[in-house]
Every structure is written in C-alpha cells, then in structure tokens.
Amino acid sequence: MNALAISLQTYFTTFAHAQRDLSTNTIASYRDTWRTLLKYLTATLGVPADALDFDAVTATNVTAFLDHLEQERGNSAKTRNVRLTAIRAVLGRALPDHPEYAATITQVLAIPPKRTTRPVVEFLSPSEVNALLTAPNQQTWTGRRDHAILTMTVQTGLRISEICSLTHDDIHLGTGPHIACTGKGRHQRITPLTRTTVSTMKNYLTERSTLPGTALFCGPHGQPLSRDALEHRLAKHLTTATTMCPSLAAKHVTMHTLRHTTAMNLLAAGVDVSVIALWLGHADTHSTDAYLHADMAIKQAAIDRTRPPNVKPGTYQPEPDILAWLTSL
C-alpha cells in the first residue's frame, strides 16, 4: 500500500471521525470526491487506482479534474469549489507526514477556488406558504405528519439535516415551548415555538406516540425520514399547492427555501440581523446579510428616506390635464 492510500485510510477512518468529528454528510462528500478523482486519474494517466500516489495528484492534474467536473459533468462552480475543499482537506492532513511530497502537495493547496456569483435568496410569500401548508391531505396520518414537518420548518428555519435528526427529547411543549437541535458545525441552539406550531405538534405527537423509535418525524414503522424522503414529500405537496397558488410554479422550492422564508419573515417583522443569525445558527452575520439583499422593501425604504422633503412619496403620476400642467411650468 502506497503513501496516498495510507493517508486516505488514515483520514477517513481516524482523523475525520475522532479528531475533526465531521458530519456524516461531509465525510460522504469528501469520500465521493476522492473516488471521482482517482477514477479520473486512472482513466487519464492509464495507471491502476491502487498504483496512484501523491506524485499523480499534481496541481496540473487536479486543475484538469476540476475543469472536467465543470465542462463534461456539468457541475457548477460552487460544486467545483466543494470538491477542491475535499481534496485540500486530505492533502493538508497528509503534508506533515510526507515531506518528500511537500512541493507537490503545497502547489495543490495553493489552487484558488473559482469565484462565483451569489444568487439572490429565493423565498415564499405568505400566500404561497399558506398554500403549501394546506396542501397535505390531513385526512391521512402521513398528511398530518407532513403538515407538522412543514409547519415546524417554516416557523423555526431548521436545516433539513436538523429536521431529520430530531428526536422525542428535543421538543418541549410545556412552559416556554421550544425545539433543541445540534446544527452545522456542532453548534447547539434552542428555537422557540409559536402557539400555532405547538398546537400542530401536540396533535401530531399524540399519534406519533403509538409508533416505535425515537425520531420525531418518522415513517409508518417508526424509522427516521431521510433527506431524500423529505424533499420527495415536499415536491408532492408543491404540486398540489401550485394549483391553489400558481406563483409557486415559477420558483425552485426545496426544504432550504423554507429556511430562507423563515429568515425573510423575521426580517420583515423588524428583527435585527444579528438575532436572525442566532435564530438560524449562523456562525456570523455574513451569511445572514444575503437576506438584506433579497428584501426589496428595505431598499425601497432607503430610497424613500433619501427623497427631498418637498417631494411626495410614491411613484410619480402626472396631472390628469397634461396640457394644463405643461402650461403652468
């Protein structure tokens, strides 16, 4: 077994779990990146995967691999940067143990990420939210469960991974009702629940208590719901909601869109950006600033504050008799 194979095994079996405590999704993403890279190098260099070593993972080959992802596999620039991060993570950990490959590894670590255009945040309007929440058929258990999931997500702004990992012990519906979760970066936070959410969750938990397992949101046999299952259920209800609210058809709605909707609702209610960052579990307010750019009402208010004092607010409308008005100038 060569140095690269040993470094990969050390990283994924020991370092990622014991020292970095990376999430399951992050480890899977890093693993898939290296599998794809090794397959690419095998096809390009004509060398078996087991024979590939650090001398094959050069800056030239890695850059060509990243270009291959964009140009031939249709990956976005954002995905390209995520793959580069995965490659750097393993090489950065291997560098101190293999000084003989320091020059090669350092050159790869110096590859800059590709600059990307950050899209404007997409979110749902109040009427679109209402249409989505009423879409599940509440005559069935799965419909009532899905209604509870959507209500919880829109009100709390939890990430899809956080929704999937919730258990019975995480929700508290007594005095000071709230939901507790461990989010991205192992940050623990507590989010208060509104009366509407509490009422919905009480009804749901009455039925949930008859099923096995500890997952808060589960399947018919008590098994936890996966990310794919949640997105599938959302897509199903979006089809129904679109018939009631056609504006949904023009939007690409995912579970993360509901998180954006929570943030925009808080912003519209006048909540400070720093509080919204705490609510969403952001490490700092830089991530939350994106919602300021998406809120046209804030920008319109800024324009209104800069108008001359003798100018009436609103869109200009000419006088009914335009000829008389021109004569008066």
187 has catalytic annotation: no
H helices present in 157-194, as ranges? 160-165
Task: Catalytic residue, from 159, 233, 237, 260: name it.
Answer: 159
Q: Which amino acid is at 159?
A: R
d(CA 322, CA 12): 75
Terminal alpha carbon distance of the chain: 89
Handedness of CA 83, 84, 87, 92 (dihedral sign): negative
**CB burial readout 24-52, b (16+ within 10 A) else e:** eebbebbbebbebbbebbbeeeeeeeeeb
Q: What is the DSSP letter of 215?
A: B
Indicate the Cα dihedral angle 212, 238, 196, 274, nearest 10°. Answer: 100
101 has catalytic annotation: no
d(CA 55, CA 248): 51
Task: Catalytic residue, from 184, 189, 227, 251: name it.
Answer: 184
259 has catalytic annotation: yes
Task: Catalytic residue, from 80, 145, 259, 260: name it.
Answer: 259
d(CA 111, CA 317): 55
| Residue closest to 267 by CA, chosen among 230, 299, 224 | 299
147 has catalytic annotation: no
Reduced to 3 states, what is the DSSP secondary structure of residue 76?
A: coil
> Which are the catalytic amino acids?
159, 184, 256, 259, 282, 291
